[in-house]
Structure formats: C-alpha cells, structure tokens
Homo-oligomer: A and B are copies of this chain.
C-alpha cells in the first residue's frame, strides 16, 4: 500500500497532504482541510473548482472539463479539481477565486508622517489648435504653451498626444517628472502613485494620492511565481534551467501586478492612466526577476547582483500598465541577498537618521538584519530557511485560514488559536514558534531539541517523537495536528541563524546585546510573532519589552514614502552606500557563534 499513496502540495498556502493515488484534487484539498469553491458539490457541472496543476502526473482532461473550460483555460493548464485525479506526487496552484475563504495577505506598516515632494507634478495647459495658417506639430504647439518648452517625451506618451489634445479641446493636464512628460490627461484629473512590496511569497500594493499623500486603496495577492518554486533559489534555478524561464517568472508577476493596479484603481475610482509613478521593492532576486536582469550569477558563489544601484525604469518597458510615461523606481540593493526591500524597510521604520543603537530585521527565508550604532551601520543576511513560512514543518502551512497561529501550554492544558477561528488544518510560523517556546518552558524539550518528559499530548518515538497540538477529533483534517522533534530542529536552525547573524553584527560593532536601545521587527511574521516566545527560544536577546517594536510591513511603508519624496530616494542611495555589509560565511567567529545560538 506504501506505493499507492502520493503527496500533493497545495499552493500558494503551502499545505502538504499524502493521499491514495487516484484521489481527485478536490478530495485531496478536502482531506487537507482546504475548502475550494465547488458549488455543485463535486459533480463536475458548475466549473467553479478551478485549479492549475504545475508539476507531477494527473489524469488527462475529461470530456466534462473540455465542456466546462474554455480552450484558453485548457491550454493554460487550468483543470477542474473534482475531475482531476492525482497519479503521483503533484504540486497544484489554487487561484484566489477558488478558495472559499480569503487569504490573509497584508500587514499594514506603521506610518511616519509623509514627506510630500513627489517626483511627478501636474501642470494645466491650454494649447492653441492648428489651422492652415499654423501647421506646427502637436508636440510643438503643446511645448510652446508651457512656461518652459524644453520638455522630453517618450514614444508611449507621444502615441496619445494627438487624440488627447483634440478630445479635450486643447486644454489638458500634464504630468511632468522634472522635464520629462509622463502623461497628458483630461483637465482636472488627480495624480496617483503605486507602491508595491514584492515578497517572495506575497505582494502588497498601495495606491497613493500624490498631492496629499493619502493611501486611497490597498490590496494584496500571492506572488504567482510561487508555482515555480517556493524560495528564491528554486526560482533562480527555474529561470536558469528553462528556456524563457526568467521571462515566464517576470510575465506572471507583471500580469498579477496589472491585476492589482486595476483593482486598486477600481477601489479608488481612478484610471490606470492617472498612476504616474511607481515604487517597487523586493529582495535582490525578486528585484532582478522583475526587472529582467540576469540571475544566473545570483545562484552561484559568490552570489553577486547584476545591479545594485537604484534604477528608474519606464513602466512601458516592463509591460506594467500605468500612465504611458510612468517610471518605476527600484531602490538600491545593498549586497548579496540584502536587497532593496531591506533599504525600504529601514526607511519605512524611519531609521535613516536614527542616533539610537538599533537592530532592525525582517524575518523570512532569508532574514536581513541591520545594526545602527554610533552613526555607523552594518548589515548581514542570514539563511534562516522557510520554517517560519510553514515549510519543512510536518504540519506546516502559510498564514491562511485554519492555521494554528497561537499556542499556550499550561500544565496539561494546551490552548490553540487558529486564523479565522476555523478548525485547525496546520500550523503557521507564529504558531510553531509559540509551540516550541511552550515546549521549552514546560521542560518538554532538551537543549538538542529532543521531545521528552511526561505529558498526555506527548507521543514518544525513538526517532521522531511528537506533541499533539490539536487532536484528530477537533481538527479540520480528521488527523492530529502536531509538532515533531524534526519540527523543533527546523526551528532551531532558523532561530540559530538569525541569532548568530545578530551576534556577529554586535561583534563587528564591538557592543553587547544589552546595549541595543531599540529592536525593530518588521514583516508579517514579525508582526504576528509573540515576543516572549521569540526570546524564550533564544531567537531574540532578553531585553526590556518596551525596546521592541513590531512595525508591520515597513518595506511597504518605505515604498510609499519613497513614492512621495524624491529626497528620501537620495537617502536610500546613501544608506546603501554607507552600510557595511558583513558576509557571515567568511566571518571567523560565525561557526562558533552559530553553534552556540542553536541551543534551546
């Protein structure tokens, strides 16, 4: 019977399930506790349970599917989950509309008051119409109606000039970026900017009024590249190993971003043509894949970027549908995996001029850490792995409905809280952190991570003992949701890497952990994590709690601030140039510090 089961990975939530070969994808999802829209109850008649198998063998499209799906859907690989049988290990991408419950996509950043000096400004113009006595070109007549006629215009804007001038009776509003014409708009239309934090897993997008700095709409989405690899290394491998692999990753991302732009514009009642500037932040790999820069060398030692400078790219060149001359600003990357999103995070947390001794970090598959001390600034990148994203954890999943996000072990009582208060189907990052901290505090785990001691929920095993967080009877899957010794070890590796990076920065600065005056934790996981748990397992140093700040999506807030202020873009470049990047792999103390940091 061993051979007749196989594993299904449900993306983007990262839930794994082992099921018999021949199970339909709809049943596999149900057994994993993931509810798909299936109005007809799996009878193959409603066409709503649409999913996209991205790798592994499945049954060929049935006649029902050929009837229910369009040829375009079929050729894009879309399937009906109720009709598709799993024939081996399979990875499936579930589009947002096929989930019954919305995903938790976004964490707001704390916002510093905006500094309002955007790159693009409006100018209202009346141009004289042409006649047989005045045959000057449209651009010439527009130009000569300006206070300063010396403007530059690219082809995408020029393609709109003649119709826009005529349709608005030669009275228009120009969006000008210095002397560069970004858009020719009907009179009176407001100017907006787009800020996006492109995470490896999630995208957070904001539409900002450039005149008053207000965020007028926000939305989130999963990064569609997740279907091609969960972490940056597997995406880089995909780009390198497939013809047009990089183009595909770029295209999928741009397509999703265009969808977000449409959604944000609809929310705010504006047109994409009014979006005259964008700031997009991401780690070095996301940055390079978005811009179409080469990534091969990013995947090979010594892992160098193609470009680290800040970039300004015409949106038309990347296919992002904004105002025809809109520019996308990408902040500078620092070095290695410390990318533009880290620079943006520091600005979002308003740290650019901090005089306090400060740690700032954003925990992810790679965790970037900055230390500010005595007007100096060090940073490093730790390979913390995807455990806090729920990957490599036996019952792990991303922060989605049904994920255990809080755990309290109080003697024999075990309390859990799930996202959306749904029956538990797995554990997300903050839940596994709490669980490990609870086990440590309860004395149920030794320094090396082995589970031991007496507890009704503890299931001993020579190799992989387990602790049951939610018994089968109460779970959403009909199986126990548990933490295993292997899971504890994964968390040890992750927190050890983070703590070691932090300690090495302190060594570089020549200070002790207790001298840290503020400790900034950014990002979604950083916002939901329980500080006591993080300290209990030794991921963070023991400091007075008031020195910690959980600032939410500071990278996104930084992107918004960069959208509104040209001066901050200069600051971003100064930060990237001033920071001393510490390469942990070659630091003489690293191994010693790391081994010490692994202990619980």
Contact = CB atoms under 8 A, between A and B. Distances in A.
A123 B336 CA distance: 29
A586 B132 contact: yes
Given A163-B294, A583-B132, A139 B308 contact: yes
A467 to B, nearest CB: 41
B302 A138 contact: no
A333 B137 CA distance: 9
The copy count of this chain in the complex is 2
A135 interface: yes
A313 interface: yes
Contacts of A291: 155, 158
A140 B304 CA distance: 11
Nearest to A246: B159
Contacts of A131: 302
A196 B307 CA distance: 35
Interface in A274-306: 291-294, 296-297, 301-306
Interface string A437-451: 000000000000000
Given A135-B581, A136-B335, A297-B166, A155 B306 contact: no
Contact of A306 (B135, B138, B306, B583): B138
A interface, size bucket:
35 or more
A162 interface: yes
Contact of A304 (B138, B306, B583): B138
Given A135-B581, A296-B162, A336-B135, A130 B317 contact: no
Interface string A121-139: 0000000001111111111
Contacts of A160: 294
A585 interface: yes
A532 interface: no
Nearest to A161: B306
A132 B137 CA distance: 56
A135 B335 CA distance: 6
A306 B139 contact: yes
A309 interface: yes
A28 B347 CA distance: 74
A46 B135 CA distance: 55
A130 to B, nearest CB: 5
A293 B139 CA distance: 11
Contacts of A306: 137-139, 158, 161-162
Contacts of A304: 130, 135-138
Closest 4 CB pairs of A and B: A137-B308, A162-B294, A137-B305, A130-B304
15 contacts: A135-B335, A138-B306, A138-B307, A139-B307, A139-B309, A140-B309, A155-B291, A155-B292, A155-B318, A158-B294, A158-B307, A160-B294, A161-B306, A162-B293, A162-B306
